[in-house]
Amino acid sequence: MFDHLLPMAVAWPVGVFVFLLGLCVGSFLNVCIHRLPAGKSLLWPPSHCTTCLGPVAWYDNVPVVSFFVLRGHCRTCGAPFSARYMVVELATGLVFLGYWLAYFPLGLREGADHVGVYVVHMVLAGALVVSGVIDLERKEIYPSVTNLALGVGVIGSLVWPQVQTLGAFDHQLPDWTGYARADAALLALVGALVGAGLIFVTRVLGTAVFRKEAMGTGDIYLMAAIGGTLGWEASAMVFLIAPFFGLAYGIWHLLRQDDHEVPYGPFLGLAAGVVMLTQDYIFNYFRPGIEGMWRVMFRQG
């Protein structure tokens, strides 16, 4: 009689754990966002107020909750904390929970219900958050962050071929070596090259046309990480979708008459987040037209 309630009873405690884990990861991402541009160690010293340099006690370092308990101020000196800390923590928690719901209980994407896929994707998501926030604030993207995500994408594909199967054409790996793990790792490298290549070509052509640097080199590293994790088809989709996210920001930026340098990393990250959920739907929608063009080009059928 109550058999249908059992999956939810099991799933929601896991969901709560995933959300809390995301909050804690978000707290660490804040450390990266603050310390990487300053060239400081991510591990030492422990959390402290940037104004009075006093240590933050563990009970004042609870993600999201402490911000509201302390009303956004240091307990020792009263200096205000940026709301960005709380926003990043909450956003990361919601990302962890949202993708867990989409991949597992809801099954919105075929083949995504695999622990290895989820872990690798969340590492990429963390790198996208760090890179996006730093790029938005400082117009910089750090290769140390993107290369870590790329490394996890390639190694994760070697350990769990499902990471690349998810984004491959018809969810089938190419038979290049006869070994699924090796083929998946090679496909990850192809994805990284395609992702980086798309931005590199855009940068070269844009610089030639506008006679100034069109895109930063950090965007190349970021797209390499996206392509290496999600696959070359996904990287092409991200490349095509990202400008739509950037358009609204660019218009608002222009109306404010700010400097005309628009950080592109946040919009690549948003596009990657969308593709992680909708790649199959997007491809299936355009597939008839793509296959029709392919037949015309090569005079098939």
Q: How many CB atoms lie within 10 A of CB 257?
A: 7
Please list the pLDDT of the chain residue by residue as tens digits (301 residues).
Answer: 444 444 555 678 899 999 999 999 999 999 999 999 988 888 888 888 777 878 888 888 899 999 999 888 888 888 888 899 999 999 999 999 999 999 999 989 989 999 999 999 999 999 999 999 999 999 999 999 999 999 999 999 999 999 999 999 889 999 999 999 999 999 999 999 999 999 999 999 888 877 777 678 899 999 999 999 999 999 999 999 999 988 877 777 667 666 667 789 999 999 999 999 999 988 888 777 666 666 666 665 4
Domain locations along the chain? 1-108, 116-301
Residue with tokens 């660019």, as numbered in its chain: 250
pTM score: 0.91
The residues, ordered by sequence, that sit 6+ positions from 14 with a Cβ below 8 Å of its Cβ are: 100
Residue with tokens 């101020």, as numbered in its chain: 73
Query: 218 and 142 in contact (C-beta within 8 Å)?
Result: yes
How far is residue 101's CA from residue 258's CA, in Å, rounded to a whole number?
39
Closest residue by Cα to residue 32 from 143, 140, 131, 139: 131
How far is residue 178's CA from residue 181's CA, in Å, rounded to a whole number?
9
